[in-house]
Structure 1
Amino acid sequence: MTNLALSAVEAQPEIETKQGTYKVASTTLVFDTTDRVEMRSITREIAAFVEQGPVRDGVVQISLLHTTAGLMLNETQGALLSDVTSMFEQMVPSRVYYKHNDPMLSDCERKNADAHLRAVVVGNNLSIPVCDGRMVLGTWQNVLLTEFDGPNRRKVHLQLMGI
């Protein structure tokens, strides 16, 4: 083994193991959005559920129950969120032809193909580790509900699993 490889092996972190009874708790949060496109942090509401739950160490699975909105981790700085909104408009423009919006090809009356496509890019599930009864997030990380077809009522299902 070379010195470089040996250094990498020696630098491995200590593995902490915990034992206990496996527990699961779940709930569904409801959020009303106000704009067609908006991003809002739902971190506080998720953190409250995790901190009140029976799991000290595990994972919280966050699932958005919709196809025209998404979930992402990022910071909530206003200029950045504006840039993200602009990025989505450039990636998936709202004012172009989509088959989903064409009454000859689709029964969709909302004309929201752009919202579906943006949600595909973002995704609608996140898994966040839980240690000592708290979500493990970086300094600037927030769970953002990204609305692409508002205003709407959005449901976010949470499942907390672990010991």
Structure 2
Amino acid sequence: MRQAATTLVIETSGAGLVEVTVPIRRWVAGQGLETGLLTVFCRHTSASLTIQENADPDVQADLLRFFRRLVPETQSLYDHTAEGPDDMPAHIRSALTGVSLSIPVMDGAPALGTWQGVYLFEHRARPHRREIVLHLFGE
């Protein structure tokens, strides 16, 4: 068994989903492992990861609108408000969606479905520089 790890740096433009499937696939392919398990980990508490449809951009727009309704940016609802009205809602959205994914690797590639893509879900309103750690274990 072998292991490999790297960090991807993703620049966001504010709240929304940023697809990171291509750089993940590229990195996995370069490791020379045929079978294994890929862990994708977001090193932040106000952004998260999700696997979603990557064929229709309406899916990402609908998800963003849904989470804005589910977790409103109303400061009177929260004690943690020092970093602005979007900070605590971003933490809650991140807790709901998660910061880690496990993806099987088969035939040297992540075993994603036809319409599945891996997304960094930015929950803050302003642009951020986010880090995603990839760890691959396999043979």
TM-score by length of 2: 0.93
CA distance in 2, matches of 1:52, 1:33: 25
Give matches, 1:17-96, under 5 Å: 22-35=1-14, 37-76=15-54, 77-96=56-75
1:69-148 mapped onto 2 (5 Å cutoff): 69-76=47-54, 77-97=56-76, 98-101=78-81, 108-111=82-85, 112-148=87-123
- Give the deviation of 1:96 after TM superposition: 4.2
Letter in 1 for 2:108: G
- Higher RCO, 1 vs 2 (CA within 8 Å, ≥6 residues apart): 2
Aligned length, in residue pairs: 135
Deviation at 1:54, TM superposition (A): 3.1
Which residues of structure 2 form unaligned runs of 5+?
none
Root-mean-square deviation over aligned CA pairs? 1.1
Q: State the 4+ residue runs in structure 1 displaced beyond 3 angstroms.
A: none
Name whichever structure is richer in strand by fraction. 2
The corresponding residue for 1:155 is: 131
> Residue deviations 1:71-120, cap 9 Å, x none?
0000132211111111101110112421111xxxxxx3344101000000
The gaps in structure 1 that reach 5 residues or longer are: 1-21, 102-107
Q: Kindly indicate whether the alpha-carbon contact (under 8 Å) linking 1:23 and 1:54 is maintained by their aligned counterparts in 2.
A: no
